[in-house]
Amino acid sequence: MAPHRFRRRHAVAAAALLITTLAGAGPADGTPAASAGAAPASAKGKGTNLLFAGLDVRKGMTREEIQRLHVGGQQCGCTDVLMLVHIAADGRRVSVVSLPRDSFVRFAPHRHATHSGKINGAYAEGGRELTVRTVERATGLRIDHYLETDFPRFVAAVDDLGGAEVCSDKPLRDENSGLDLAAGTHDIDGLHALRYVRARHLNPPGDLGRVRRQQKLLLGMLARLTDAQVFKDPMTTARTARTLMQHVRTDDHTDVRTLASLAWKLRDLRPRQTEFATVPISNFDYRDPKWGSSLLWDDKRAKRMFGALRADQPLTSTRKSGGPVPVGMPPHETRISVDDSRVAEGLRASGFDVTETHAPADRPRRTVVTYDPERARYAPSLEAALPGAELRPVAGTGPVFRVAVGSEQQSVTQVTYDRSMVEGAPVTGDELRCGHPSGKKG
């Protein structure tokens, strides 16, 4: 499907509201979901907040179904995906914030002694009611509606909606999830969509890349719904909502009428009026004796993000301009040899491990950076520090990046390690879609 379809006005946010639930996996045994817990006294703000959850369970699935969906392994009975969706009071913006499953937060009061743990464990200890209250406690936001789905129904829903378009500028292969996609743009069905959103062992590894792919899949599904004009009138919208409700469970005050009404209200939003982000992280390997490696939120930036939602302001307003350019790998882990003292000093200022070499008699016109493909994950950081330089992967060149400074004046940009702003910074639907340079990055 052509990328230009994302530029249509109608149905973008409406579709987002109805199918964000399908970005995860959860049980669907037919029992009604519990009511969301009362919001904390501090939870104020305008607009409507929905929490979408997917659980790591395989209850009711046959061995053949587990193998076909490539979802083997031991279940934890916990949430695998949590997405918070804020709908602005005026209906002119939808904000989606992913809460990584390994986020280490304080649980809301419940039958166990008060304690902290990974946010995905709240479901195992107190079901959806504790999950909702824990998210409310961590974010300071009131949750108005709660929805969840499961592995098989996720696959069926994507197929029912006509699949999705996804794109990447590099191959995506993950043995654990079964994902195997070549570089480029692809039309994928429900089975491959499940593999795409569950993959965690890609470069860079972990949850931030995974939740960004979940957000990209959402946009890919939006394109299909937009193309099919499923929100062209109230009756069609209601039928779509009814179909999707077959694939989710909700709390006892969220029904077809609720979703159809909200979707119809949002039918005219443009992609630039939707935005996607991941809660900012300060520590990607916080160690807890019981919970193991966890993610610690960046308190200051997380409060700013959720404060923007409480104030009904766009998430993109929390992005700071100026200052060092965020990069996804610590500069001190990148060894560099440079044949120019000025450039060497500029790179050292950002923390790169720099060794100076003798200047050559003849310089290339443009700066050239040669490196071993096995060090590819470090290349974007150096590329950001040396704008305009040509990066050349050459097998067997070893662990050092070799910088041949060009005869043209090479500028040096100060960079800083900040994975949250590289992998999970607030972006609009326009920025994330296929066809946009940032949207092609896997």
- The per-residue pLDDT for 290 is 92
- CA geometry: angle 176, 178, 183, nearest 5 deg: 115
What is residue 185's DSSP assignment?
E
CA nearest to 184, candidates 202, 200, 171: 171
User: Token digits for 367?
Assistant: 């700066």
Q: How does strand 172-174 pair with strand 104-106? A: unpaired
pLDDT band at 242 (very low <50, low <70, confident <90, very high): confident
- The per-residue pLDDT for 191 is 92
pLDDT band at 142 (very low <50, low <70, confident <90, very high): very high
Distances (CA, A) of 181 to 30, 154, 171, 206, 386: 34, 19, 6, 18, 30
- The per-residue pLDDT for 244 is 75
- CA geometry: angle 300, 302, 307, nearest 5 deg: 95
Distance CA 416, CA 223 (A): 35
The 10s digit of each residue's pLDDT in 63-121 is: 888 888 888 777 777 888 899 999 999 888 999 999 999 999 999 998 888 899 999 99
- The per-residue pLDDT for 432 is 84
pLDDT band at 19 (very low <50, low <70, confident <90, very high): low
Tell me the pTM. 0.82
- The per-residue pLDDT for 305 is 95
Strand partners, 356: 338
- The per-residue pLDDT for 41 is 44
pLDDT band at 30 (very low <50, low <70, confident <90, very high): very low
pLDDT band at 227 (very low <50, low <70, confident <90, very high): low
Distance CA 330, CA 350 (A): 10
- Specify whether the CB–CB gap between 142 and 45 falls below 8 A: yes
- Using a 10 angstrom Cβ sphere, with 0-12 exposed, 13-18 middle and 19 or more buried, the burial of residue 291 is middle
Average pLDDT over residues 425-442: 79
Average pLDDT over residues 310-320: 86
Q: Range with the lowest mean pLDDT among 249-253, 283-287, 302-306, 329-333?
A: 249-253
pLDDT band at 25 (very low <50, low <70, confident <90, very high): very low
pLDDT band at 28 (very low <50, low <70, confident <90, very high): very low
Q: Range with the lowest mean pLDDT among 256-270, 280-294, 306-320?
A: 256-270
Distance CA 229, CA 243 (A): 15
The 10s digit of each residue's pLDDT in 172-214 is: 998 888 899 999 989 899 999 999 988 888 876 677 888 888 8
- Specify whether the CB–CB gap between 343 and 403 falls below 8 A: yes
What is residue 103's DSSP assignment?
B
Q: Range with the lowest mean pLDDT among 340-349, 390-399, 423-432?
A: 423-432
